Amino acid sequence: MKIRLAAAILAFISAITLGIICTVYTDRLCTQISSDIESAAQNYDYNALHSTKQHWDKKVPILSAFVPHEHIDEVTEILSRALAFLQNDDHTEFDAEISCVMHQLYIISTYDTPTLRALF
């Protein structure tokens, strides 16, 4: 009985710990990606944005373990579109896409944060 109770408490604590780790990881990654995108967008720097997207693509498999895939795919798609607009010097469309991706990253970063909005 004691072993079962200890295992249950351990599982419960592990679930909480895993939840906190996932939230912190997602928040840090999204903050970093957002800041990279922002600096690349300010200078309309294609190479910087391209390397940011590559960095994002590398993190997608880890992020997919705890964030709904549709949110992640949305960011990947917007970044691809933004890169295409930047390559064609369409800055108006590019700025719009950047605005969208920043919002989408905010949604991902706050997705698992236990806020009132998320809880109810």
Partner 1 sequence: MLVPLIRTLILYFVIIFSMRFMGKRQVGEMQPAELVITILISAVASVPMQDIELPLVHGIIPIITLVSAEVIISTLSLKHPKLRKLISGSPITIIRDGNIDQKAMQTLRITIDDLLEDLRLKDVYDLRTVRLAQMETNGRLSVMINSADLPPSAKDLRIKPSPSEPFNVIISDGQLADTSYASPQKSKWLHSVIGTNGAHEIKDVFLLAYDGESNIIFAKKEN
Q: By CB under 8 A, is residue 4 in contact with partner 1? A: yes
Min dist. Cβ of residue 73 to partner 1 (A): 9
Give least dist CB 4 to partner 1, A: 6
46 contact partners, CB below 8 Å, separation of at least 6: 83, 86, 87
> Which is nearer to partner 1, 75 or 98 (by Cβ)?
75
CB atoms within 10 A of CB 29: 19
Tokens of 2: 């004691």
Q: Which of 65, 92, 115, 117 is the binder for partner 1 (CB under 8 A)?
A: 65
Residue of the chain from 33, 67, 98, 105 that contacts partner 1 (CB under 8 A): 67
Among 99, 95, 108, 105, smallest CA distance to 23 is for 108
